[in-house]
Amino acid sequence: MKTTTLETTASTDILPIFQAFAESYRLQVIELLRDRELCACDIANHLEISASKLSFHLKTLREAGLIQGRQEGRWIYYRLNLPQVVVLEQYLSEFRRLSPILPARSCPD
């Protein structure tokens, strides 16, 4: 079976993004970083979670390419990685464009 561009993109670029979005703390981090850069300690305080628990979620988001961090002294500041958001937007627009909704076929009796 021939692999479509959509399937190839999903397995290499998009799957880690959807996996990262599958947890509420990670979605909250994305929302917090939507319009500003934040220190990890501020994110942990806002979410009311421990630094170690936040670290796990930040690692998942970094590995999915959704956030980037920069170190300043002993603090790490996080921000959205907007080019990866564009990858997600492009995938969803291609999905819509390439996936017509066909009526269900009749099941045999």
Mean pLDDT confidence for 8-21: 78
15-83 has which CATH code? 1.10.10.10
Q: What are phi and psi of 60, to 5 degrees?
A: -60, -45
Say if residue 92's pLDDT is above 90.
no
Domain ranges of the chain: 15-83
Percent with pLDDT over 70 in the chain: 84
pLDDT higher at 9 or 62? 62
Say if residue 6's pLDDT is above 60.
no
Mean pLDDT confidence for 80-97: 87
Mean pLDDT in the chain?
87
Say if residue 47's pLDDT is above 60.
yes
